[in-house]
A = this chain, B = another copy of it.
Amino acid sequence: MKQPPFYQKAIMPEWLSQRALLTPDRLALVCGQTRVCFAELECLARLTAKRLFDLGVRAGQRVALLSGNSLEFVLAVHALPKLGGILVPLNTRLAEQELAWQLADAGASLLLHDEPNADRALLLARKNTQVRAVSIKELPLPLGPAKAAERSAIRLSRVHSILYTSGTTGTPKGAMLTYGNHFFSATGSALNLGVMKEDCWLTSLPLYHVGGLSILLRSVIYGIPAIVHNGFDPEAINRAIDEDGVSMLSVVAVMLTRILDARGHRPFPGSLRCVLVGGGPVPLSLLEDAERLGAPVVQTYGLTEAASQVATLSKEDAPRKQGSAGKPLFPTEVSIVDTCGRVLGPEQAGEILVRSPVVMAGYFGRPKETAEVLRGGWLHTGDVGSLDEEGYLYVSDRRCDLIVSGGENIYPAEVEAALLSHPYVLEAGVIGVPDARWGQAVAAFLLLREGKKIDEGHVKAFLKERLAGYKVPAHVRFVDSLPRNASGKLLRHRLREAWL
């Protein structure tokens, strides 16, 4: 049979306006001292959209955001779809050089910033004449009578946001996530974890990460409140769980440890029905501690390129499937292939491939890199893993020696490139090493040029100017040679063995 005559364009109402129509009085957001229902949030987001329109934001434009978690951050996220603008949230922990690069790469015309980032934002705008820096605090105050041509509908194939993620080469790339990606992610998560109008989702993850951003979108799609903390405060999280009926909590393992530490022996209330832990497997002892206090831990394996969750491991399966990332979300398929692209059977390790409507539209402005990772309709994650007989996923190596420290992704190649920019450094090798607090820490191995000498403190200071603080190695070792294969490729696994 031929394709249907009427092509399915997959339009739906703009999310927040629809949610405000459906459940205007439900609590939408708790952020600092602010508590607003969906009708109020919609009203504020429309004012914000009007202001952004005054500032020249039009459909397809990229608007960068450099800010901690705040009401204004949330308003920008919900205002941009009303104008067709594309959100580019920037990691506030990046160094100025990194930010400048991403701003230019995204072709952003506007840089919204909060107070703590004001100086940096103004500096960035001075160096990039395309970009105008505007304080996020001024956002919900429209300038004049200008009427924004608001969109009441969104198209699922359109780009909603561009989130930067580094890769094997160490060059960050902007993952374009569409409305469809976010919608299928939200509904896929709902089909897995359930959804009820009594739910309430707390995050202290940064909203510039897909893990934090996706919670704002789920809040609107589900009609449940998002509780947004700025920065991680275990006491405040425990208070919100006890007093505000938090049912869903998104954290990374290191945060869960500290929440449990702060809690002592006080059990969690029954209203807490899911603690979603990203950023690598949760150690058994931590799982047991959580279980003892009644915190139902769901582990998840996610990627920016897949709009957050790819697979999750339920509390019930956790003891039996230690170290597994669980099973894929309903609309998502996971496949394991060898280096020739052949599909591997159970228990065989290979590259993890993902096929799903949650997979990004591509990397912004990078058709070549996009074609490389989206071959044949599958996302090639670069991560290594296997499936067992029952279809549980085990991730053995994050992509290309990815280091995950306190939930932040660090790509060795990027740190190595920064090290090699020092005139005394001849060769550099970077790996992740076990760290009791952050899961992993960055360790650098350096081979210096003949007759040159620098110490650990100098190396760290040098890098701090160029890289986000969390990327700066905690450990620096000076060596006489680095392990390489015949063709000269650095063998990072040999460095890891040497560390142990």
Contacts and interface: CB of A to CB of B under 8 A. Distances in A.
Contacts of A1: 60-62, 86, 159
Contacts of A485: none
Interface stretch (A10-18, A75-83, A487-495): A10-18
A390 to B, nearest CB: 8
Interface residues of A, number: 59
Nearest to A62: B1
Nearest to A331: B12
A63 interface: no
A346 interface: no
Nearest to A391: B21
Contacts of A9: 377
A18 B391 CA distance: 10
A305 to B, nearest CB: 11
Given A22-B327, A187-B190, A11 B195 contact: no
Interface in A158-183: 159, 176, 178, 180-181
Contact of A8 (B157, B327, B370): B157
Interface stretch (A128-136, A355-363, A446-454): A355-363
Given A1-B86, A21-B391, A157 B7 contact: yes
Given A5-B362, A13-B333, A21 B357 contact: no
A260 B372 CA distance: 61
A3 interface: yes
A344 interface: no
A28 to B, nearest CB: 15
Interface in A348-366: 355-357, 360-362
Q: Report the 4 A-B pairs with minimum CB-CB distance, sorted nearest first.
A: A4-B361, A1-B60, A187-B187, A12-B331
